[in-house]
Amino acid sequence: MDHTNNNLLAVLLMFFSSLLLMRTSMAAYNYNVVKFGAKPDGRTDSTKAFLGAWQAACRSAASVTVTVPRGSFLLKPVVFRGPCRSRITFQIYGTIVAPSNYRGLGNSGYWILFVQVNRISINGGTLDARGASFWACRKSGKSCPPGARSMTFNWANDVVVTGLKSINSQVTHLVINSCNNVVVRKVKLVAPDQSPNTDGLHVQNSAGVTVTDSTFQTGDDCISIGPGTRNLYMSKLNCGPGHGISIGSLGRDAKEAGVQNITLVNSVFSGSDNGVRIKSWARKSTGFVRNVLFQNLVMKNVQNPIIVDQNYCPTHKGCPKQGSGVKISQVVYRNIQGTSRTQHALKFDCSRSNPCQAIRLHDIKLTFNGRSATSTCKNIKGVKAGVVMPQGCL
pLDDT at 277 over 50: yes
Q: What is the mean pLDDT of residues 315-340?
A: 89
Mean pLDDT, the chain, whole residue set? 93
- Amino acid type, 265: V
CB neighbourhood size of 286 (10 A): 15
Q: Is the pLDDT of residue 1 over 70?
A: no
**Does 112 have pLDDT greater than 80?**
yes
Region of poorest pLDDT, from 15-24, 46-55, 348-357: 15-24
Which is more confident, 185 or 24? 185
Query: Which parts of 33-105 are beta strand (E)?
Result: 41-45, 64-68, 72-74, 78-81, 88-92, 95-97
Question: What 3-state DSSP class applies to 337?
Answer: strand
Q: How far apart are CA 364 and CA 384, in angstroms?
A: 9
CA distances (Å), 217 to each of 192, 213, 279, 357, in order? 7, 14, 21, 33
Q: How many residues does the chain have?
A: 394
Task: Kindly tell me if the per-residue pLDDT of 23 is higher than 70.
Answer: no
Q: What is the pLDDT of residue 200?
A: 98
List residues with catalytic annotation: 243
Q: What is the largest CA-CA distance in the chain?
A: 93
Query: Looking at residue 186, what is its pLDDT?
Result: 98
